[in-house]
Amino acid sequence: MIQVEGVAEVTDGTFDAEVLGASLPVLVEFTADWCGPCRQLAPVLGAIAAEEGDRIKIVQIDVDRNPGITSRYAVLSMPTLMVFRSGEPVKSMVGARPKRRLLQELEEVLPAAV
């Protein structure tokens, strides 16, 4: 899996605690080693994690090694980005996108900046 600074990896075993139990909203990237757009998205997620780490937690999950969570949320395309808040999915996006566009799409689910 593509390692990105500031973006933690979750698994079928840690997903509920790390994502559903998080106090901040969590952006989950469903990714795979063979996914070209996922590689394009990696630096974007790293930059957002560095800039917005106080408002959102960003994690990634490898769909090939974690089929349980992947099927639980009916993820079929990579990359799929899902935002979870208070243990519930509140937004889903499919495909890579530039940083500015992703930040705009996340704005409605992020807490106000302090």
pLDDT digits (tens, 9 = 90+) for 74-91: 999 999 999 999 999 999
Choose the catalytic residue: 35, 41, 42, 59. Answer: 35
Point out the catalytic residue in the list 2, 38, 59, 82: 38
Is 35 tagged catalytic?
yes
Nearest CA to 79 among 40, 24, 26, 110?
A: 40
Q: What is the mean pLDDT of residues 44-49?
A: 97
Spatial separation of the C-alpha atoms in residues 99 and 43, rounded to whole Å? 9
**pTM exceeds 0.85, yes or no:** yes
Let me know: does 4 contact 60? Beta carbons within 8 Å: yes
